[in-house]
Amino acid sequence: MEYKLFKLLADNLPQPIWIKDLELRFIYVNKEYKAIYKDINEEFIGKNDAEIFDGVVREECIKYCNQVINSLKPLTEEGYLDGKRRKITIVPLIDEGKIFAVAGIYANLDIIKEKDKIIEEQENILKVVMDTLPGRVFFKDKEGRYVYVNKQFDEFYNKDGIGEVLGKTNIDIHPTEELAAKYSREDNEVIKNKRSIKAETILYSEDGEEIYTEAVKVPVIDKSGDVAGVVGLVLDVTEKKEAEKKLRQLSFTDILTGLYNRTYFEEKVKEFQSEEYLPVGVIMGDANGLKLVNDTLGHDQGDELLRLIAQALKDVCGEKQLIFRTGGDEFVILSKNTTEQECEIIIKNIFDRCKMYKHDLINVSISLGASVADSLNKSIYEALKEADDKVYRQKLLQKTSLNSSIMYSLQMGLEAKSLETEEHTDRVLANSIAIGEKLSLPMSVMDELTIVAKLHDIGKIGINEEILLKKGELTEDEFEVVKTHTEKGYRIVKASNQLDNVAKGVLAHHERWDGNGYPLKLEGEKIPLVSRIVSVADSYDAMTNNGIYKRCLNKEEAIEELKRCSGKQFDPIIVKAFIEYLEEIEE
């Protein structure tokens, strides 16, 4: 039964098969073998090759059979069968440790070679495809050894003198351990998770230029579902990155000035609201005279003015600062890890730099204000609002601005209605500024002080002229009316929501150090600093120049009066600073 099954199987195989005894006589041939030699009118069984074949066929077969009998190991060789070159495998048949026969099976080598040729052609096509791809292709086994690389990959590393890449690992071919470790981490991630990844890496050319690469790494899964290795495609995306960078720059750049625009400002505000950037200096700027230039010389000249201001800002600002044009005539500077004092220095440098640029109609200038976001509890937008308020106050001090014209009109109205004179205001202003400089006050406080000094009595516009112009001493009721000028002045100035501190300064300029002043009876340092300064400057001018109610005092007498009232009516530190100033100047 077993022999019958074997014969049935062997006769139906498409390959020629024979079995010979140790004398190399045929003891079995299948139908395919007989069919090949159907022209030979011989019975195979019991005969050997010498009795049937001649020449090369006979000698080769005898030689191969004897090798198998002697070695007891299978043998695969190429040989002729029916005039065709075939692959023959001869195996020893062993029973209970002893060989009793040999069997041979043939494969058509032409078919094999045809398949090999097809495979070779496919491999060549694949190689051409791989070599013409716009990138570096590789295959690594799961131990990280390079098994295949395409032409571009090979050329890229051969220019560095790496030599043959196949068989090497990341550490063997990459210039730094850090880079090799990065690539290995990526490979291990692909192998572990059996998922493809994308990764970006920055390399450096011999000239030190950045080369941006983008890699796609894919796991190669075998039939058993295990990862056999990693296939990767590495593309040079430097041009793409540079193009993206240019597009990004365009989207974040103000075309007119070359500064960053509002969109980029909003993005950077989010980034800078972080502990590592604190304190963040925020400088707000507003171009002076832009409307005048646009209206008189045209928008081309207005654009030129903006470009000159932008250049001045660029000249002064360094790597820590980012400059934005956030509106038509508005600029913002964000400066990381910057104190308010450092912002003041930047502002002064910008003012000086602007003087170096010339415009056909007006001086190149910009009003600037600064604030600092010094904790995460204070947003950059809050600091920006504070800086904007300071810009507004500075605008009041610009002679050509509309805001300044409004302030000037109020001053003129006061002078027309009362005995307040421009000279009085100028003297109070000059002495207030002198005190502020003695105290080394910041620029923003000096701006507040200047406006308060100019507008300290503005509330008298709302006082009856008969009382203001009355000769002789006022009655108690009349004096109470006059005292309301501080509150009226507060309301006038408060009408501008950007002058809150100035309004408070006007309100409190008749408060006393000892708390016996008006209208709020504030004392000590609860009185705004600018109010305390104006109070000393105003009182000194009243002593030395206003002879309506009392005789004027000379300088020495006025100084003695200031000393007498120091610590009672006046802040002693301010009195000391003012007296030092008075003693330094000539009569």
pLDDT single digits (tens) 222-275: 888 888 899 989 988 888 888 888 888 788 899 999 999 999 999 999 999 999
pLDDT recorded at residue 5: 82
| SS3 category, 323 | strand
Burial (0-12, 13-18, 19+ Cβ within 10 Å), 41: exposed
Mean residue pLDDT across the chain = 85
Domain spans of the chain? 2-113, 133-241, 255-396, 402-584
In the predicted structure, residue 419 carries a pLDDT above the cut 60: no
Using CA atoms, how far apart are residues 296 and 105, in angstroms rounded to an integer?
105
pLDDT of 374 = 92
Least confident of 68-72, 154-158, 347-351, 553-557: 154-158
Neighbours of 461 (CB within 10 A): 19
Confidence of residue 580 (pLDDT cuts 50, 70, 90): very high
Greater model confidence, 361 or 316: 316
Number of C-beta neighbours around residue 197 at 10 A: 16
Residue 411: its pLDDT value, please? 61
pLDDT of residue 400: 47
Cα–Cα distances (Å) from 194 to 143, 230, 231, 481, 500, in that order, read: 15, 10, 12, 88, 65
- Please check the confidence at residue 409 and state whether its pLDDT lies above 80: no
pLDDT tens per residue, range 519-551: 999 999 999 999 999 999 999 998 998 655 467
pLDDT-derived band of residue 561, with 50, 70 and 90 as boundaries? very high
Label residue 313 by pLDDT band (50, 70, 90): very high
Mean per-residue pLDDT, 108-113: 60
The position carrying tokens 């600037």 is 368
| Residue 113 reports pLDDT greater than 70 | no
pLDDT band at 68 (very low <50, low <70, confident <90, very high): very high
Please check the confidence at residue 502 and state whether its pLDDT lies above 90.
Answer: no
Range with the largest mean pLDDT of 123-127, 296-300, 581-585: 581-585
Summarised one tens digit per residue, pLDDT across range 349-381 is: 999 999 898 876 677 889 999 999 999 999 999
Q: What percent of the chain has pLDDT over 90?
A: 43
Contact of 570 with 513, CB cutoff 8 Å: yes
Q: Which CATH class is domain 402-584?
A: mainly alpha
Q: Which CATH superfamily is domain 2-113 in?
A: PAS domain (3.30.450.20)
Q: What is the pLDDT of residue 14?
A: 83
- 133-241 with 402-584: one CATH topology? no
User: Quick one: 368 exposed, middle or buried, by C-beta within 10 A (0-12, 13-18, 19+)?
Assistant: buried
Q: What is the mean pLDDT of residues 1-10?
A: 79
Superfamily name and number for 255-396: Reverse transcriptase/Diguanylate cyclase domain (3.30.70.270)
Model confidence over 132-144: pLDDT tens digits?
Answer: 667 888 889 989 9
Higher pLDDT, 48 or 56: 48
Mean pLDDT value of segment 37-41 = 71
* Confidence (pLDDT) at 549: 43
* Cα dihedral sign, 141-145-151-153: positive
Reported confidence tier of residue 84, pLDDT bands at 50, 70, 90: low
The whole-number average pLDDT for the span 314-319 is 94
**Among 116-125, 249-258, 288-297, 524-533, the range of highest mean pLDDT:** 524-533
| Range among 32-41, 272-281, 292-301, 458-467 rated most confident | 272-281
Above pLDDT 70, what percent of the chain? 86
Distances (CA, A) of 102 to 15, 93, 95, 247, 284: 16, 5, 12, 77, 100
> DSSP 3-state assignment of 150?
coil
For residues 575-579, give the mean pLDDT: 94
Residue 498 confidence (pLDDT): 65
- The pLDDT of residue 109 is 59
pLDDT at residue number 55: 64
User: What's the 3-state SS for 59-112?
Assistant: HHHHHHHHHHHHHCCCEEEEEEECCEEEEEEEEEEEECCEEEEEEEEEEEHHHH
The pLDDT of residue 250 = 80
Task: Tell me the average pLDDT across 509-519.
Answer: 94
Mean pLDDT of the 15-39 span: 87
Q: Give me the mean pLDDT over the 90-113 stretch.
A: 83
Q: Where are the alpha helices (DSSP H) in 94-223?
A: 109-132, 151-158, 170-173, 177-193
For residue 402, the model assigns a pLDDT of 43
Q: Please tell me the least confidently modeled range out of 54-58, 148-152, 299-303.
A: 54-58
The domain over range 133-241 is classified in CATH as 3.30.450.20 = yes
Burial class (CB in 10 A: 0-12, 13-18, 19+), 113: middle
Of 499, 330, 328, nearest to 404 (Cα)? 499
At residue 507, does pLDDT exceed 60? yes
| Residue 458, pLDDT above cutoff 70 | yes
Q: What is the mean pLDDT of residues 337-347?
A: 94
